[in-house]
């Protein structure tokens, strides 16, 4: 497994695979069993698996948990290695000079469900996923059905922008009590987890 933070270096390595199917599993790290199931699906469907670990500031709104978002990188890398991931992409920054002047915007699909309480969230998601797609140039990408609105928006982005990438949903992995596995659910105490 190669761990790469430099964009040009990752692209150089991936350019050597001209006949192999490349799968991307984009994550913000803090990997759990749900992420592992995405990686396992990618391994079944593709020859080369790239997992990205990047906490995307664009998908956090005001007063959200960006600064406190868990970043257990060593654990994440160990999990990826155990699953036979080929490349882990760990960029420090994906936006020029720490900000972005041009991004993508989601229209109607972001105006309900999670988008109501997080108005800029999905713009941040599609912008970073577009950047990751442009860097990695995968044949397919795996996203969890847990974030069904996000999955639907990304599938629509790929269709609307003629990206030629197959976006595949993977079944939600749940706790024994039925709650979906989530990095943020680690914050819940027993009273909140009802």
Dump pLDDT digits (tens) for 45-70.
999 999 999 999 998 877 787 888 99
Q: Is residue 93 part of a domain?
A: yes
- Is 193 a domain residue? no
Annotated active-site positions, please?
35
pTM of the shown model: 0.88
The verdict on residue 192 lying in a domain is no
120-175 residue pLDDT tens: 888 989 999 999 999 999 999 999 998 899 999 999 999 999 999 999 998 876 55
Number of domains comprising the chain: 1
C-beta atoms surrounding 123 within 10 Å? 19
**H helix and E strand count, the chain:** 6, 6
Q: What is the CATH number of the domain that holds 15?
A: 3.40.50.620
Q: Give the separation between CA 77 and CA 60, rounded to whole angstroms.
A: 24
Cβ contact 138:23 at 8 Å: yes
Domain interval for residue 143: 2-187
φ/ψ (deg, to 5) at 48: -125, 130
């Amino acid at each position: 497994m190669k761990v790469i933070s430099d964009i040009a270096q990752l692209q150089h390595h991936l350019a050597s695979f001209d006949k192999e199917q490349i799968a991307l599993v984009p994550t913000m790290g803090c990997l759990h069993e749900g992420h592992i199931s995405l990686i396992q699906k990618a391994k079944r469907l593709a020859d080369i698996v790239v997992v990205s670990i990047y906490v995307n500031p664009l998908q956090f709104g005001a007063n959200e948990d960006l600064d406190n978002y868990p970043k257990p990188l060593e654990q994440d890398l160990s999990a990826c290695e155990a699953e036979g991931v080929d490349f882990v992409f760990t960029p420090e920054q994906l936006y020029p000079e720490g900000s972005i002047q041009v991004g993508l915007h989601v229209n109607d699909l972001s105006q309900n469900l999670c988008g109501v309480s997080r108005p800029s969230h999905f713009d941040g998601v599609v912008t970073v996923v577009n950047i990751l797609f442009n860097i990695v140039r995968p044949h397919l990408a795996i996203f969890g059905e847990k974030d069904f609105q996000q999955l639907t928006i990304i599938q629509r982005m790929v269709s609307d922008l003629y990206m030629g990438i197959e976006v595949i949903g993977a079944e939600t992995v749940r706790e024994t009590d039925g709650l979906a596995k989530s990095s943020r659910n680690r914050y819940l105490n027993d009273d909140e987890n009802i």
